[in-house]
Structure 1
Amino acid sequence: MASLSGHKARKRFGQNFLHDTGIIRKIVRSIAPSAKDHLVEIGPGMGAITELLLEENGQLDVIELDRDLIPGLRVKFFNYPEFTIHEADALKFDFAQLRKTDEKLRIVGNLPYNISTPLIFHLLSFQGLVQDMHFMLQKEVVERLAAKPGTGEWGRLSVMAQYYCDIEKLFLVPPECFKPQPKVESAIVRMTPKQQPTFKALDEAVLADTLRLAFAQRRKTLRNNMKGYVTGEQLEALELDPQRRPETLNLEEFVRLANFRAE
């Protein structure tokens, strides 16, 4: 019979398995799953969070890349008929295929540190299908998601995440809650997609490209980073000082700049 107990965490998958039952319960309380929810878990690992989610709600899709974990998960949760495992890379997974009706997905996961930023960008592309997302991430990534303009953490990830979602830092998770222990602190974040953006971009792809250009070299001015795309005079016409550094611009100013480029 397949077992999860002998599984060794794999570095290439960025695996650190949560084992502290107090923290696991605190995470699930934060999610507050109900029987009507359509839950999706990314990277169930040994099934620590999975187990409590299934106790609250038998309908759960999980996405797991490590094929050696899958037989053990099937055995452990065999008595839940609406427990479905998708052997897939979450970075390439089409989350839209999980919706059977017009219900919204509630996505949770202990995200591998090595792919957390690209995975969040991928998930943001499905934000219209999502009710909320609860993730365990490296503390520094959570700080970037929740950052304010004018700080060292404010960057491309902060702006795009806050364009689509309301961000709440919930609580820290120390390294000793995992096996093996990571060298960094973790934190839980709640991301709730907005019904409508606070400031609407004419073209979200242009907004993403504007952020890529603006933050390409953080120490350079807006004029330098946007050279060849927007002139100093055009920046001034938009009421943006060309000498400002990108981390001083707020969400509304970035949307204004992107909308100028999109027109």
Structure 2
Amino acid sequence: MSKKGGHQARKRFGQNFLHDPGVIERIVRSISPRADDAMVEIGPGLGALTEEILAVNPHLQVVELDRDLIPVLRTKFFNYPDFRIHEADALRFDFSSLVTDGKPLRIVGNLPYNISTPLIFHLLSQSGVVKDMHFMLQKEVVQRMAAGPGENNYGRLGIMTQYFCKVQPLFEVGPGAFKPAPKVDSAIVRLVPHESLPHLAKDHKTLQVVVRTAFNARRKTLRKALGTLVSAEQLQSLGINDGLRPENLSLADFVAIADFVADQGLLQDAPDAANDDTGVSDD
């Protein structure tokens, strides 16, 4: 909790510090940390969640961008010699560098709303070294992650997250649990990387391009939305109704289209799409 004269939340970092003891306890119960877990927290802030995890796992590592918070954390947790702070931007941080003895990471965090979606995609690109992730996110973002075909919130974020992970929304958190209180509701989500991808694409970047292209024109039919990549006849040959809209297709359908595009070499001249799926909006 921020005290008078203490650290003030910074808008440019999207900081909203969690302070509700009941919510913190519920989050920790959901995470269920163990002493031997390879725990990593993103954006510990003033250490409200950090304190509870350290009590169970004294080897916790944290990634914090705000340099003014570093001395606050060092002072607060000086009696934990194995506690490590990485002063870095989580969007560019190599989380695989934290893996020791091949033990996968358990990543947690109250993520800033302004970077939550690109950060999720950054972490998904490193999902091979992750055991699970528990995040506090804007409620709308969690809804999009978990949405299925035909639902209003279904789009790029959900498809690409579900490509890599099982998505499990846990519970919602009101604005009053934070200081300052955000103007939106929040939710906790658990992401568990698939041991083996249920719908493995031949080329991940091609899948990104197909999904992005489709949802850039989500209100149009597939024959129009994907017209620059595949023809109506080619979609029909894959058993896909070209008169449907992108929101009606499953992950498996998008992988089938992406594999066809990859096999035909239709994206050889397309720009690198590695970072194209970072926007929350699917329009």
Normalized against structure 2, the TM-score is what? 0.90
Q: For residues 162-186 of structure 1, what are the alpha-carbon distances to aligned partners after superposition, in whole Å with 9 as ceiling and x for unaligned? A: 1111111100101001000101000
Distance in 2 (alpha carbons) for counterparts of 1:117 and 1:217: 20
One-letter amino acid of the structure 1 residue matched with residue 80 of structure 2: Y
Q: Check whether the contact 1:211–1:254 (CA below 8 A) recurs between aligned residues.
A: yes
The answer to whether residue 149 in structure 2 is matched with residue 149 in structure 1 is: yes
Q: Check whether the contact 2:18–2:179 (CA below 8 A) recurs between aligned residues.
A: yes
Partner of residue 34, structure 2: 34
The answer to whether residue 265 in structure 2 is matched with residue 255 in structure 1 is: no
One-letter amino acid of the structure 1 residue matched with residue 251 of structure 2: L
Partner of residue 196, structure 2: 196
Deviation at 1:51, TM superposition (A): 0.3
Distance in 1 (alpha carbons) for counterparts of 2:81 and 2:45: 19
Partner of residue 87, structure 1: 87
The answer to whether residue 181 in structure 2 is matched with residue 178 in structure 1 is: no
Q: For residues 35-72 of structure 1, what are the alpha-carbon distances to aligned partners after superposition, in whole Å with 9 as ceiling and x for unaligned? A: 11010000000000000000000111111111111111
The answer to whether residue 138 in structure 2 is matched with residue 138 in structure 1 is: yes
Partner of residue 159, structure 1: 159
Partner of residue 240, structure 1: 240
Q: For residues 75-134 of structure 1, what are the alpha-carbon distances to aligned partners after superposition, in whole Å with 9 as ceiling and x for unaligned? A: 111111211111111111111111122000000000000111111011000111000000
The answer to whether residue 45 in structure 2 is matched with residue 7 in structure 1 is: no
Deviation at 1:4, TM superposition (A): 6.6
Could you tell me the percent identity over the aligned residues?
Answer: 59
Aligned partner of residue 244 in structure 1, secondary structure? coil
Q: Check whether the contact 1:9–1:17 (CA below 8 A) recurs between aligned residues.
A: yes
Q: For residues 201-240 of structure 1, what are the alpha-carbon distances to aligned partners after superposition, in whole Å with 9 as ceiling and x for unaligned? A: 1111111111111111211121112122111110110111
Aligned partner of residue 113 in structure 1, secondary structure? coil
Unpaired segments ≥5 residues, structure 1:
none
Partner of residue 99, structure 1: 99
Partner of residue 17, structure 1: 17
Q: Check whether the contact 1:4–1:72 (CA below 8 A) recurs between aligned residues.
A: no
Distance in 2 (alpha carbons) for counterparts of 1:181 and 1:72: 21
Partner of residue 205, structure 1: 205
Aligned partner of residue 97 in structure 2, secondary structure? helix
**RMSD (CA atoms):** 1.1
Give the 4+ runs in structure 1 shifted more than 3 A: none
Distance in 2 (alpha carbons) for counterparts of 1:224 and 1:101: 50
Distance in 1 (alpha carbons) for counterparts of 2:82 and 2:232: 57
Aligned partner of residue 220 in structure 1, secondary structure? coil
Q: Check whether the contact 1:4–1:73 (CA below 8 A) recurs between aligned residues.
A: no
Distance in 2 (alpha carbons) for counterparts of 1:97 and 1:198: 27
Q: Check whether the contact 2:2–2:8 (CA below 8 A) recurs between aligned residues.
A: no
One-letter amino acid of the structure 1 residue matched with residue 129 of structure 2: L
Aligned partner of residue 41 in structure 1, secondary structure? strand
